[in-house]
Amino acid sequence: MAISTDSTFVLAHWKKELNAEYMMLSDHMRKVSEQYGVLITQVGMSARATFVVDTEGKIASIEEGSAALDPTGAETSCSRLQHKK
């Protein structure tokens, strides 16, 4: 799942453009970004970050900045979680 401060209209465009098979949710009110500590209030956007959350709702890993653009880190974390079962 992806969460972005973009509007649902913009996310629908990117979902189609990227042929994404995962959900894209809009945090247009910026509440999730604020709760996760990535909201940049001066510009009303969130910093780029990837959070991997386990099945118990605990954050297993965080990738920030340019590292969050590459899905490899999140994929590795998800793989590790799968092997813990």
pLDDT, tens only, 12-35: 999 999 888 888 999 999 999 999
What CA–CA distance (Å, rounded) separates 4 from 72?
19
> What pLDDT was estimated at residue 36?
92
Distances (CA, A) of 61 to 8, 14, 19, 68, 81: 26, 25, 25, 11, 10
User: pTM for the complete prediction?
Assistant: 0.74
What CA–CA distance (Å, rounded) separates 63 from 3?
14
Q: What is the CA radius of gyration of the chain?
A: 14
What is the chain's mean pLDDT, rounded?
A: 87
